[in-house]
Amino acid sequence: MKLFVLDNGTLELDMAWLVLNPKPATVDNKHPQADWVTIPTYTVLVEHPDLGWVLFDGTCHPEWESRWPEALQPIFPYRAEERQYLPMQLEQLNLKMSDIDIVVISHLHLDHCGCLDFFRGTKAGRRGIIVHDAEFAHALKVTHKGPVDYSGAYVKGDFDMPNLNYDLMIGPHLELAPDLHLYHWPGHTPGLIGMVAHTEHSGTFIFTSDAIYLERNLKEWVLSGIVYDTVAYFNSMYQIKQLARKHDATLGYGHDMEKFRALKKAPEYYE
């Protein structure tokens, strides 16, 4: 098995989305200044001897400005060079979107499923994009019941489209292969999926997606600013912490820039 980390650019946002209330007001400072930060968005590609090419997550669509609701664009602006767009990252490995055999989407927020459009009609799209059943149900519910076609970071047009099938993961765990596992880690959203890869020479990698945004969330045991279920969030962090200890694993957090910089980037790989 080979594991590639694909650099898909960055997002800009208020730190308060990543760490709940990082600068609380006080009587002496009633209006503390927000911290505007830059965070990575990335995908993980696995070349597996039995499964073929497995892609974990779908980052942002290159044409995000014409696809995202205007209200969200100044809150989480996406920044990327053309070479960082997902199709271009695959191209550097001599791959096309149509070469991918399995796509796993951690959750259906706009910065994690934006490139699903490219998989319509492909073998991965026909097979069924792996999404957790709880996530799919929630995303459909919140984007179809109001006057607009989005809710929070869920954008209907990013995941609800023709010629795209879904393979719903049900329950807490799915073994894709003995060395490649998916786990249900709810909290940030109802159906968030993380991926655990056991490589032969480089050890175990745990990709938490937004179950844990930053190492700071884990070390300080603090919520992020976007949480669906606070109790589930801490339960998921505890499970990840124990799994990391068990396997002495490398943690790939959802959006931690410092930890992301420390990872090898494609075309380099782990095996």
Burial level of 229, CB count in 10 A (0-12/13-18/19+)? middle
- Answer yes or no: is pLDDT of 146 > 90: no
Q: What are phi and psi of 144, to 5 degrees?
A: -115, 0
Cα–Cα dist 64/10, whole Å: 13
Cα–Cα dist 139/150, whole Å: 9
The mean pLDDT value for 123-131 works out to 97
Residue 55 has pLDDT above 90, yes or no: yes
C-alpha span between 60 and 84 (Å, rounded): 10
**Of residues 271, 213, 215, 204, the one with CA closest to residue 244:** 204
Which DSSP string corresponds to 94-152?
T--GGG--EEE-S--STTTSGGGGGGTTSHHHHH-EEEEHHHHHHHHHHHHSSSSSEET
Distance CA 60, CA 10 (A): 10
Structure tokens at 16: 């308060």
Alpha helices in 166-266 (DSSP H): 215-219, 230-247, 257-261
Domain ranges for the chain: 2-20+36-261
* CA atoms within 13 A of residue 199's CA, in its CB half-sphere: 18
Tally Cβ neighbours within 10 Å of residue 189: 30
- In which element (H, E) is residue 174 found? strand 173-177
CATH superfamily, domain at 2-20+36-261: Ribonuclease Z/Hydroxyacylglutathione hydrolase-like (3.60.15.10)
For the stretch 232-252, pLDDT in tens is 999 999 999 999 999 999 999
Burial class (CB in 10 A: 0-12, 13-18, 19+), 166: middle
The model's pTM: 0.95
User: CB of 197 within 8 A of CB of 269?
Assistant: no
Angle at the Cα of 58 from the Cα atoms of 21 and 77, rounded to 5 degrees: 45
- For residue range 184-223, what is the model confidence (pLDDT) as tens digits? 999 999 999 999 999 999 999 999 999 999 999 999 999 9
- Predicted confidence at residue 94, as pLDDT, reads 97
